[in-house]
Amino acid sequence: MRENKVVYGLIGYGGMGRWHTEILSNVPEAIIGGIYDIKEEKREEAKEKGFSVYETEEAMLADPDIDVVLIATPNDCHKPIAIRAMHAGKNVISEKPVTLSSADLLEMENAAKETGKLLTVHQNRRWDDDFLIIKKLVEEQKLGHVFRIESRVHGSRGIPGDWRKEKVHGGGMVLDWGVHLLDQILYMYGDRKIETVYASLTNVTNQEVDDGFTAILTFEGGTEVLVEVGTNNYISLPRWYVLGEDGTAVIRDWQLNGEIIRKTGRTEETVVPVKTAAGLTKTMAPRREDTIVKEDLPKVSGDIADFHRNVVAVIRDGAEPEIKLFQVMRVMKLMEAIFRSAETNQVIKFQDQV
């Protein structure tokens, strides 16, 4: 540490690496001691931004000033770098996904236990405002018993034209975006068990890795959660759609446009049928205005810098890590169940997988 500040060493100065430098600028308890990237042009770019640069990974790991190594490389590189860093006496933050399989993660966990070093994962979307709003609604039972949640992200440009479209590097949308959405759901529901998983993958724009997926998770108690990522969607469905016994909530987009509609408790003695092309229906007729109440979504704000503040507190003060390895392992095994379900076209019983 320098002057009671935790010193970071950043490996990987691509998009996420640069993003981390911006976030860490808002965490005065941490400083960036130096950056290493395998590409010379990236090291030069970091120098131009005023950062110290290491010419090799070994040089960073040998630097006694570095307290924690932050790995922001392609997914397949996370495990070997993390294990080398921990054996060099460094704490480790890995970008998500932590690695490519639960077996790999177990190796990393064992290295953390053997060395006594922190290993954690940057699951930053636990601090997204849209997620925190839904978490609040569910926890406060604003909609009554929630029986279905739909969590989606949709784009229309396929997979980015980099390593994320290559299988060898751990590409594909399950590992890229699924890891976020699944972590949010499991974090929200805590210890509540998943009973079954059923999933399908898409390969519309890429035949090597999945460019989208749909997964249906059934939790004990009957709650069904649909998690979906699409990259060839020219009209996006809502980011969140939550159904409770007493109401419905929707968040349509990243700008948090949406609302809550709840029933008031007043019964409809007479229902006016709605006319459709093929006839009348009472079942699908809209509710009368006097039997529902429309409300704005609650205001909940997250601060993604809190992830790094927690890491500092763990290293400096012995606090509990916010992102725990048993949570990371559960997400990893859930992603493996998604791949297995899609490959076999079968419902996977998940309770005995964790």
pTM of the model: 0.96
Average pLDDT for the chain:
96
Task: Read off the pLDDT of each residue in 279-286 and give the average, rounded to a whole number.
Answer: 91
pLDDT in tens, 312-322: 999 999 999 99
**6-122 shares its CATH topology with 126-256+297-302+334-349:** no
For the cut 60, the answer to whether the pLDDT of residue 204 exceeds it is: yes
pLDDT in tens, 220-234: 999 999 999 999 999
pLDDT classification of 265: cutoffs 50, 70, 90: confident
> Helices 325-344 and 179-189 sit at what angle, rounded to 10 degrees?
120
The answer for residues whose C-beta is within 8 angstroms of residue 27's C-beta and 6 or more apart is 305, 308, 309, 312
pLDDT of residue 162: 87
Short-list 154, 170, 157, CA closest to 96? 170
Q: How many CB atoms lie within 10 A of CB 72?
A: 24
pLDDT of residue 160: 84
pLDDT in tens, 74-120: 999 999 999 999 999 999 999 999 999 999 999 999 999 999 999 99
pLDDT of residue 5: 97
Percent of the chain whose predicted confidence (pLDDT) is above 70: 99
Cα 4 versus chain centre, distance: 31
Between residues 201 and 286, which one has the greater pLDDT?
201
pLDDT in tens, 39-57: 999 999 999 999 999 999 9
pLDDT classification of 353: cutoffs 50, 70, 90: low
Task: Read off the pLDDT of each residue in 108-134 and give the average, rounded to a whole number.
Answer: 98
6-122, CATH topology level: Rossmann fold (3.40.50)
Q: How far apart are CA 233 and CA 292, in angstroms?
A: 32
Ordered by start, the domain boundaries in the chain are 6-122, 126-256+297-302+334-349
The answer for residues whose C-beta is within 8 angstroms of residue 275's C-beta and 6 or more apart is none
Short-list 186, 183, 161, CA closest to 171? 161
Task: Read off the pLDDT of each residue in 302-317 and give the average, rounded to a whole number.
Answer: 97
pLDDT in tens, 62-74: 999 999 999 999 9
Q: What angle do CA 200, 204, 209 make, to 5 degrees?
A: 65
* Residue range 126-256+297-302+334-349, CATH number: 3.30.360.10
Least confident interval from 96-100, 164-168, 270-274, 349-353: 349-353
pLDDT of residue 267: 73
Task: Read off the pLDDT of each residue in 233-252 and give the average, rounded to a whole number.
Answer: 98
Q: What are the backbone angles phi and psi of residue 124, rounded to the nearest 5°?
A: -70, -20
> Helices 102-115 and 78-87 sit at what angle, rounded to 10 degrees?
10
pLDDT of residue 28: 97
For the cut 80, the answer to whether the pLDDT of residue 250 exceeds it is: yes
